[in-house]
Amino acid sequence: MIEKIILTPFQKFVKIESFSGILLFGAMVIAMIWANSPFSESYQALWQFNIGIRTETFEFTKPLILWINDGLMAIFFFLIGLEIKRELLIGELNSLRKATLPLFAAIGGMVFPLCLFLLLNNSPETSSGWGIPMATDIAFTLAILKILGNRVPLSLKIFLTAFAIVDDLGAVLIIAIFYSTGIDWWLILYAMLPLAFLFYLSYRGIYHKYLSFFIGVVVWFLFLGSGIHPTIAGVLMAFTIPIRQKIDMESFTENLQDIAYRFTQTKRDGLPILSKEQYEHMDELEDLTEKFNSPLQRLEHGLHGWVAYFIMPIFAISNAGVIFSGDMALDMPLVINIAVALFIGKGIGITLMSFLSVKLKIAALPEGINFMQIIGVAILAGVGFTMSIFVANLAFTDNSVFVDSSKVGILVGSVVSGIIGYIIIKSSGNPKKVPIQKS
């Protein structure tokens, strides 16, 4: 029973992320074809189209691409924040024993690509791209594992998800600390005041979704003008959402049985609508469900589909369209550097740190996993599409050549990592044999 409660939500998470990876790949292909088709001008014009509010005394407009990268991606980061908080409190990172291996793997997966990038980089102009190869795209990697079917044990997917979430936390900190410029600390202070209020309410177990939404919009606007990327506001807002339920399982069950009993005692008049008494019982049931639901879990569940099936594909379509032409300007050293840092840096970093943590008996391999599968997942982690492109846009805001070069390097490194990682994992374990039942 306990295993079902824990594993079923995770399996649903994997299913959503796996299909999201397929959508991401499709969106990337569409973007590349569109950007290099006879309609390439429409591709460029669409994302540069200004949208916003304009009056005689006030104007707030931004190109569509920035509404996506600064606005929709704030929701993406909000979901990441919810996942990080959940994992830290009740998930795979809530104890030192469970968190050690994913933590070491994530550190290796961030530090080694960074060091390799700086080692290979020969131009001061491109040195700010060191954060690009540090990210792992969990949607793409889980999609590849999904293709492998029952060759991949669930414990390997849990390990990948756990270290990818630590990786995301590292990426968030890097964006906040190193890719924010011209910071207006007064605006940050103003943003912290409503956030502190929400943290206090969360500490008291109080949550109002409309109040949180309104404050979230205010905080986002303040971060937008502060110099710190507004997506960080999404992560901070996520940490204000309480995870605790207002009532426990026993109280919920007793009240549910009471409502169900009283509902069965109501008169049925044959009409296709509820009676006043029945409607009151339905209101009681809705209120009871609201109290029993964890606000964090409910938000995470509600947003996951929107982020996986809408926001991430839109981000991919709007950002992956590199125009290839005869006079295309690419910084080839940067392309090679990013591709190598993703493929080799991730592979060596995650594998080595995982190996050391196990050999030093600081951590233990999850049941059903061998080191060859760890190597495969480590290489697979070089698929860094979504977050890597996001960091590339921040690293080279004023240089389209470096941005395009980064995207090409990310695509090359991700494709090579995906193929090699797939091959290694496929050859590292045998598919589970399903016993044939005799009729």
**Tens-place pLDDT, residues 185-235:** 899 999 999 999 999 998 888 888 899 999 999 999 999 888 888 888 999
Whether residue 38 is predicted with pLDDT greater than 80 in this model: the reply is: yes
The reported pLDDT for the residue numbered 215 is 95
Determine the number of helices (DSSP H) and then strands (DSSP E) in the chain. Answer: 19, 2
pLDDT confidence of 433, banded at 50, 70, 90?
very low
Long-range Cβ contacts of 183-189 (<8 Å, 24+ apart): 183/226, 183/227, 183/228, 184/225, 184/226, 184/227, 185/226, 187/222, 187/223, 187/225, 187/226, 188/222, 188/223, 188/226, 188/228
Winning range, highest mean pLDDT, from 35-39, 192-196, 255-259, 301-305: 192-196
Q: What SS3 state is found at 62?
A: strand
Whether residue 275 is predicted with pLDDT greater than 70 in this model: the reply is: yes
Instruction: Please state, in angstroms and rounded to a whole number, the distance separating the CA atoms of residues 156 and 142.
Output: 10
Q: What SS3 state is found at 205?
A: coil
Residues 6+ apart with CB under 8 A from 210: none
Instruction: Please state, in angstroms and rounded to a whole number, the distance separating the CA atoms of residues 281 and 259.
Output: 6
CA of residue 431 relative to chain centroid, distance: 29
The reported pLDDT for the residue numbered 169 is 85
The reported pLDDT for the residue numbered 361 is 87
Instruction: Please state, in angstroms and rounded to a whole number, the distance separating the CA atoms of residues 242 and 274.
Output: 34
The whole-number average pLDDT for the span 90-117 is: 88
In this structure, are residues 134 and 349 in contact, taking their beta carbons and an 8 Å threshold? no
The reported pLDDT for the residue numbered 17 is 60
Of 281 and 114, the structure prediction assigns the larger pLDDT to 114
Instruction: Please state, in angstroms and rounded to a whole number, the distance separating the CA atoms of residues 153 and 403.
Output: 37
Q: Tokens 């005041």 appear where?
A: 193
Of 286 and 201, the structure prediction assigns the larger pLDDT to 201
Mean per-residue pLDDT over the chain, rounded: 84
What is the chain's length? 439
Whether residue 3 is predicted with pLDDT greater than 50 in this model: the reply is: no
Whether residue 318 is predicted with pLDDT greater than 50 in this model: the reply is: yes
The reported pLDDT for the residue numbered 384 is 85
Of 311 and 263, the structure prediction assigns the larger pLDDT to 311
Reported pTM:
0.79
The DSSP code for 432 is P
CA of residue 52 relative to chain centroid, distance: 27
Number of C-beta neighbours around residue 182 at 10 A: 7
Whether residue 119 is predicted with pLDDT greater than 90 in this model: the reply is: yes
Whether residue 13 is predicted with pLDDT greater than 70 in this model: the reply is: no
The reported pLDDT for the residue numbered 326 is 61
pLDDT digits (tens, 9 = 90+) for 125-183: 999 999 999 988 877 787 787 777 777 787 888 888 888 888 888 888 888 888 877 78
The whole-number average pLDDT for the span 91-117 is: 88
pLDDT digits (tens, 9 = 90+) for 232-262: 899 999 999 998 877 778 888 888 888 887 8
Nearest to 44 by CA among 388, 319, 305: 319
In this structure, are residues 386 and 312 in contact, taking their beta carbons and an 8 Å threshold? yes
Cα–Cα distances (Å) from 396 to 135, 153, 241, 428, in that order, read 17, 40, 33, 39
The percent of residues above 90 in pLDDT, for the chain, comes to: 33
Winning range, highest mean pLDDT, from 38-42, 56-60, 288-292, 365-369: 38-42
Q: Tokens 């954060």 appear where?
A: 131
DSSP H or E stretch at residue 50: strand 50-54
pLDDT confidence of 61, banded at 50, 70, 90?
confident
In this structure, are residues 308 and 23 in contact, taking their beta carbons and an 8 Å threshold? yes
Residues 6+ apart with CB under 8 A from 241: 82, 85, 202, 207, 212, 295, 296, 299
The reported pLDDT for the residue numbered 258 is 84
The reported pLDDT for the residue numbered 136 is 85
pLDDT confidence of 12, banded at 50, 70, 90?
low
The whole-number average pLDDT for the span 294-298 is: 88
The reported pLDDT for the residue numbered 39 is 87
Of 402 and 1, the structure prediction assigns the larger pLDDT to 402
The reported pLDDT for the residue numbered 436 is 41
Q: What share of the chain is helix, strand, coil (3-state, %, to 5)?
A: 75, 0, 25
Whether residue 415 is predicted with pLDDT greater than 70 in this model: the reply is: yes
Structure tokens at 132: 């690009």
The whole-number average pLDDT for the span 107-116 is: 94
